[in-house]
Chains A and B, each alone.
Chain A
Amino acid sequence: EAGVVQSPRYKIIEKKQPVAFWCNPISGHNTLYWYLQNLGQGPELLIRYENEEAVDDSQLPKDRFSAERLKGVDSTLKIQPAELGDSAVYLCASSLGENTGELFFGEGSRLTVL
């Protein structure tokens, strides 16, 4: 069974440019998470979806970040415009449902903003 798939793996852009990341969770996983991980730090939650509903987006910087999961399956995270401080790894994770314990992570999308 395929794991969580993310693309692109790497992205280099100049500041003020837009960027989008895509995630396809494990089949049947209703809960999808986007995390941001800076070097030497743990993942920090950006947004959590239960099916197509964003149940927690309190940590998402809504002035420049947006996300969608229109059909409750794959998801897109967008940054527009990107800033230098957005350079990080963006991790997507999925789980069977709320409180079911294990998160399965994708390989991540490493963003470098120049």
Chain B
Amino acid sequence: QKEVEQNSGPLSVPEGAIASLNCTYSDRVSQSFFWYRQYSGKSPELIMSIYSNGDKEDGRFTAQLNKASQYVSLLIRDSQPSDSATYLCAVNTPNYGQNFVFGPGTRLSVLP
């Protein structure tokens, strides 16, 4: 079992719809969770971080964390074509020396 798992996609949604991206992790004692966006040919950039169970909203983005289920998700409301990118889930996990372990990423395509 990989430490951080994501559906590779591609996930296609129409413009204006809600995109839902999911991530599961294996280390139960993980403490910090992050979503990075990576455009094709570019480097990852942080869009959301979440540390406590529940929801965290920032503009059109909402991160959801459920530590009991070892599950973190990212919702993008009113999806725009400019949101088309690969979304990487990253987990900071003590069992890996406090390193950031990245999932394989989910490729999102927002269709005009």
Contact = CB atoms under 8 A, between A and B. Distances in A.
Per DSSP, chain A at the interface is: loop
Interface residues of B, number: 24
17 contacts: A35-B102, A40-B104, A40-B105, A41-B104, A42-B4, A43-B44, A44-B102, A45-B101, A48-B99, A99-B31, A99-B32, A101-B92, A102-B46, A102-B49, A103-B90, A107-B42, A107-B43
A98 B98 contact: yes
B45 A105 contact: yes
A40 B36 CA distance: 15
Given A42-B90, A42-B104, A103-B44, 10 more contacts: A33-B100, A42-B102, A45-B101, A48-B97, A91-B43, A98-B98, A101-B34, A101-B49, A102-B34, A105-B44
A107 B38 CA distance: 11
A48 B99 CA distance: 8
Interface in A88-114: 91, 98-99, 101-103, 105-108
Contact of B97 (A55, A91, A101): A55
B75 to A, nearest CB: 20
- Which 3 A-B pairs rank lowest in CB-CB distance, beginning with the nearest? A42-B102, A105-B43, A56-B97
Interface string B80-112: 000000001010100001111111110000000
Nearest to A56: B97
Contacts of B4: 42
A45 B104 contact: no
Contact of B43 (A33, A45, A58, A108): A108
Given A41-B105, A42-B88, A103 B99 contact: no
B7 to A, nearest CB: 13
